[in-house]
Structure 1
Amino acid sequence: MLFQFGLTVIIFIGVFLYYSIKLNDIGDVDNVTASKTNFKDIVLVKDTLVEAPDKLKAENFESKVDNREFKNKTSPIGEKYVKSDVEVTGPKINPNKNNFSDIGKKLEVQNLQPMKDHGDTNMRKKDVTQVQKKYPIHLAVVACGERLDDTMVLLKSALLFTSSPLMFHIFAENSLLSKFEEQINLWPETTRKKNGYHIYNLSFPNGDQKEWQSLFKPCASQRLFLPTLLSDVDALIYVDTDVLFLRSLDDLWHFFGKFNSTQLVALSPESEDSATGWYNRFSRHPFYGELGVNSGVMLMNLTRLRTSDWMESMLKFYKDFKLKITWGDQDLINIYFYYNPDQLYVYSCEWNFRPDHCMYGSVCKEAEVEGISVLHGSRGVWHSEKEPAFKAFHFVIKEFAIGYGDMKDLVKKLEREITKTKYTQCGKLSKLFTKQIERIANTTNNL
């Protein structure tokens, strides 16, 4: 009995000493961390400053606290960025929780900081509502591979026909980042002062990055993750790199004001003709409506998307249907709106006019009335002889100089080049290509 009592006392004393030492150790660690942490030892993760990993310590950082600017820093994903708005205080969080979690859990992703940044960065903090645009129109594009030139022509078309300030969000692979900045710096000074841009590296869910990046067109699936990547942007227009604007983005932005209380996204139909439609004839997965929708021109209310199950659904649908999808992220978008049709606003084909709308005759009736508002050069028509009218239009916009041209002169060049293609079905509709630009030419002269 005495032996058992003594053994119990020894065990009790051992446990007491263990926890006493453990608590002291924790206190010592907190004190050391508090004394050593400074602006040279922190990084920005989801708008919160956290202690940097050892390899990112003070020797790699240069801080300027007075103007809230950190230069030559390394972001939490290991990429450099030039400028960002940061708070100088804030609670610490676990930097390992800034990536996508498993399906079924709340998805989180790092709030990206631009790697290259130009313009009033505070404009990103002033949200635009879906009803009234008070600040710059946000336009997002994703470019990989040989898409630099096409993207620059796309951005030029937006600048040529839009009077409101624009904020470009350009996602690109590493090899293109500096090239985009070089090209943008060639724009006239007045254009660069009026508009802004952010350039980001690509970011995909951990573990499946290669799959997502190679899904259909290179990197196009990046658009699926914009709601969490751009967590301080309220709404934006996403477009493929093979798109050209023939009309002010103000008019396209206007559709946000037509959303009802449940709608998150606006898209145009994939087809107007069931006899030639892809989804109704060949699809092996669910799709929206009778003919599906095309994702090349996409209005995204990011605020609403962030509160929906959009992100979780995309990962789930990819897992369930990846062996049955043909058009990558567009198919996943169609599957989503098949199950959530009340969340989609559909606008007409004039805002996403593709070769399918004219190659066998005119099938976009809205364009016959209003003219083409957005030209989508799908199927590689910018650089082939498949549809000469599309190629001619792209060539004229590419060669036209921002800030040094006359709108009426641009219309004449477009009419002259497209008229040469009247031996094709699309060329016969040449007036549709220039109708909106002629309207702009009647109200302004210089570009």
Structure 2
Amino acid sequence: MKSQLRKYSTRKTILWWPLSRGDRLQETLNMLKSALMFSKEKLNFIVVSEDRLIESFKEKLSEWKSFMNDGFTFRVLPLTFPSDNPLEWKKLFKPCAAQRLFLPNLLENVDSILYVDTDTLFLTPVESVWQHFYKFNASQMAALAPEHEDPNVGWYNRFAKHPYYGKLGVNSGVMLMNLTRMRAFRWREYVVPIYRKYKLQITWGDQDIINIIFHYHPDKLYIYSCRFNYRPDHCMYTSVCKPAESQGVAVIHGSRGFFHSEKQPIFQAVYRSFEEFQLGGDIYRDFYQPLEVYLEAAQNNNCGNIRYIFLKNIKKYMDIDFGNT
């Protein structure tokens, strides 16, 4: 374990975002902003984008980097898919989402990354997610959270027509990836044959392929709790993510467009607070206080009834005494 700890601690934290379409641009910038707001270490961002958006990304990130006195580094890369059928991979599930399946080969000089979907926001320093790398055993090469907590509403156990991990499957929106181990495992050699075999059965694209791989190799996967990938499913019917109730939400994932939907306004309230905050502003006055107001206004629904879980880690970061309010 000591040698493993040294290995990770000598490398910069790396975050990965696949940018798919122009309407994801602001969403991605908000997520980047959330990482910068709370993290205490210098971050290295890797963004993959369609060609037409690369310059927009470089311009905005260069502006932020200058403003923050080179407080982070970044690279913006073009999409890269297997040459035999790039369009088919690009259109798998959501545009560009399948890019993550080929990261071990695309980033051949990178040891480890934290991959997150564009519709995620950090409510805690990135390091609190990254530290799970130190808990991997000798065989584990990735970390994910369960797709569901309640089998009564689980998707994979009720509808999947292909193998999946464990009893309820895993969600791929927040994924720690030890690329060195994945290359040694020959990850890509599993991806293409599995896609060819199951492409008529998969619904959620790259996430289904990941589930199939770890179904057959469960020893390669580390599971962290739902608080590191907190989605509307965890509260829209009843609160099922107990670690979030006790320790707070670490990463909020507005999957299926919930950051822009009135269905569970609490997700929209969190997103709005990050969108309105300007880097360099006072986090308590310009972010936390408006967030409290927005959450209070969004409380008359199941997710809103436990709104305190979205504040716990922010209060901890700011060293504010907190209760369940």
Report the TM-score when normalising by structure 1.
0.69
Aligned to 1:426: 303
How far apart, CA to CA, are the structure 2 residues paired with 1:192 and 1:321?
Answer: 48
1:156-185 deviations in whole A, cap 9, x for unaligned?
000001010000000000111011112223
Q: Which runs of 4+ in 1 moved over 6 A?
A: none
Alignment deviations for residues 207-256 of structure 1 (CA, whole Å, 9 cap, x no partner) = 21111101011101100111111111110100000000000111111100
Name which of 141, 149, 164 aligns with 1:264: 141
Query: What amino acid does structure 1 have at the position aligned with 2:194?
Result: F
Within the candidate set 3, 7, 10, 1:134 is matched to 10
Structure 2 match to 1:367: 244
Give aligned-pair identity as a percent: 46
Q: Any gaps of 5 or more consecutive residues in structure 2? A: 321-325
CA distance in 2, matches of 1:337, 1:213: 22
Partner of 2:191: 314
Q: Deviations over 1:87-129 (max 9, x none)?
A: xxxxxxxxxxxxxxxxxxxxxxxxxxxxxxxxxxxxxxxxx96
Does structure 1 conserve the Cα–Cα contact (< 8 Å) formed by 2:13 and 2:113? yes
Aligned-partner Cα distance in 1 for 2:38–2:298: 24
Separation in 1 of the partners of 2:252 and 2:69?
25
CA contact (8 A) 2:65 2:73 kept: no
Look up the equivalent residue of 2:269 and give its one-letter code: A
Offset of residue 190 of structure 1 = 4.7
Q: Secondary structure at the match of 1:187?
A: helix
Paired position in structure 2 for 1:182: 59
Q: Do the aligned partners of residues 388 and 289 (structure 1) sit closer, same or farther apart at CA in structure 2, a change above 3 Å counting?
A: same
Q: 1:354-408: per-residue Cα shift (whole Å, max 9, x none)?
A: 0000001110000000000000000101112122110111011011011122335
Question: Does residue 298 of the first structure (1) align with residue 138 of the second (2)?
Answer: no
Which is worse superposed, 433-442 or 278-287? Answer: 433-442
**Helix, strand or coil at the partner of 1:327:** coil
Question: 8 Å contact 2:295–2:304 — kept in the other structure?
Answer: yes
Work out the CA distance in 2 between the residues paired with 1:389 and 1:319.
40
Contact 1:129–1:235 (CA<8 Å) still a contact in 2?
no
Checking the alignment, whether the CA contact within 8 Å between 2:140 and 2:219 is kept in structure 1 is yes
Structure richer in helix, relative to its length: 2
* Cα distance, 1:257 vs structure 2: 0.5
Residue of structure 2 equivalent to 1:223: 100
Q: Secondary structure at the match of 1:407?
A: helix
Aligned to 1:382: 259
| Partner-residue secondary structure (3-state), 1:186 | helix
Q: Report SS of the residue matched to 1:300.
A: strand
CA contact (8 A) 1:288 1:337 kept: yes
Q: CA RMSD in A?
A: 1.4
1:288 and 2:160 aligned: no
Compared CA separation, residues 426 and 332, structure 1 to 2 (3 A): same
Matched letter for residue 269 of structure 1: P
Q: In structure 1, the residue corresponding to 2:64 is in which secondary structure?
A: coil
For residues 134 and 11 of structure 2, what CA distance do their matches in structure 1 show? 15
Question: Which amino acid letter does the alignment assign opposite residue 390 of structure 1?
Answer: F
Letter in 1 for 2:154: G
Report the residue type matching 1:385 in the other structure.
Answer: E
- The residue identity in structure 1 corresponding to 2:173 is G
**1: CA distance, partners of 2:305 / 2:63:** 36
Query: Which aligned pairs between 1:9-408 and structure 2 lie closer than 5 A?
Result: 132-145=8-21, 146-187=23-64, 189-191=66-68, 193-407=70-284
1:293-321 C-alpha deviation (Å, 9 max, x unpaired) = 00000000000001113111000100000
**Residue identity in the other structure for 1:163:** K
Larger Rg over CA atoms = 1
Q: Could you tell me how far apart the structure 1 residues matched to 2:245 and 2:285 are?
A: 22
Give the secondary-structure state (helix, strand or coil) at the position aligned to 1:207.
Answer: coil
SS at match of 2:70: helix
Higher relative contact order (CA 8 A, sep 6+): 2
CA contact (8 A) 1:130 1:301 kept: no
Q: Which amino acid aligns with 1:263?
A: Q
What's the offset of the Cα at 1:350? Answer: 0.2
